[in-house]
Amino acid sequence: MIPLPNNSELFPDGESVARAAADRLVALCAESKQERIAVCLSGGSTPKRLYALLAGPDYVGSLPWDRLHWFFGDDRFVPWTDPLSNVHMARTAFGDAPIPEDHWHCIPADGTLEEAATAYAATLRDVYGADRLDPARPLFDLVLLGLGEDGHTASLFPGKPGLDEREAWVAPVPESGLDPFVPRITLTFPALASSRRLLVLVTGAGKREPLTRIANGEDLPARRISSVGDLTWLLDRAAADFG
Ligand code: 6PG
C-alpha cells in the first residue's frame, strides 16, 4: 500500500466511500445552526453514487433539503442539458430529490468563458456577503472534490491556468488538460479551501498512479488541496491498496 495522503480513510469499495461521504453530510447538517448549508459539488463520475444515495430511501429523509444549497466546484463550458455538463450529471443523479429550483447554483454556460467565470464569482460573493474570504467564516459548509488520472482536481489541471491563482475565486480554463477536451470553469484553491469540511473521493484502480505520484511528493494540483476546516481523503482499496 502506498503512503496515503494525510487525513485519509480507507474503505473496501466505492459504495462504502459514497456512504461515508453521505454520512458526513448528514452529520454536518445535524450539527449546523445555519439557515443555509452550502455544499460545493464535484463533477465527473465518482460522485454519481453519492448523489443518488442522498436522493435515495436511506438518506433522503435525513437531510434538511430546504436549507441545503448546491454549488459546483467546476464545470465544462457546455449547455446544462449536455451530457458532458456536471449540472446534467448532478441533476440526473439527484433525480427526484426535493431540491428547490433556486437552491441550484450552477456555473453559467452562456456568454463567453470569461463572462461566465466572472458571473459565478459574483454569485459566490453575493451568497457569501463579502469580497474577501475569512477563514473563520468559510464560504462552503462542505466541498466535495475528486482526483483526475493526471492529478487534477476540479478543473485545476497540471500546467493550466488557475493553479497559482490566490485572489480570484473562479477561473476560466480555455483548454482542459484531460478528456473531455472542452473549455472549463473552475473554482480556485482559495475558494475550495474556504470550507468547513472538505472531502476528496477517490475510487478505482485508475487513481493508483496519481495517488502514488502525490505520495512521492510530485507537485500535482490535487496535492495542493487544502481546507480552513477539516480535510479528509476517502479512498477505496482499489485506488489505494497495492497489496
Ligand atoms: C470534472 C470533475 C473532475 C473530476 C475528476 C475525477 O469536471 O471532471 O470535476 O475534477 O472530479 O476528473 O473524475 P472521475 O470521478 O470521473 O474519475
Give the 3-state secondary structure of residue 4. Answer: coil
Contact, 134 vs 191, CB < 8 A?
Answer: no
Q: Is 95 left (phi over 0), alpha (psi -120 to 50) or beta?
A: left
> Atom 15 in ligand 1: which residue has the minimum CA distance?
46
Contact, 219 vs 150, CB < 8 A?
Answer: no
Query: Which residues are CB-neighbours of 1 under 8 A, at least 6 positions away?
Result: 240, 241, 242, 243
Q: Which protein residues touch ligand 1 with a CB less than 6 Å away?
A: 42-46, 74, 86, 146-148, 152-155
Give the 3-state secondary structure of residue 158. Answer: coil
Ligand 1 centre from 28 Cα, in Å? 24
Ligand 1 centre from 147 Cα, in Å? 6
What residue ranges define each of the domains in the chain, with the CATH number in brackets? 13-201 (3.40.50.1360)
Query: Which residues are CB-neighbours of 57 under 8 A, at least 6 positions away?
Result: none
Q: What is the pLDDT tens value at each position of the chain, 243 positions in all?
A: 667 778 999 999 999 999 999 999 999 999 999 999 999 999 999 999 999 999 999 999 999 999 999 999 999 999 999 999 999 999 999 999 999 999 999 999 999 999 999 999 999 999 999 999 999 999 999 999 999 999 999 999 999 989 999 999 999 999 998 999 999 999 999 999 999 999 999 999 999 999 999 989 999 999 999 999 999 999 999 999 754
Q: What is the rounded radius of gyration, in angstroms, for the C-alpha atoms of the chain?
A: 17
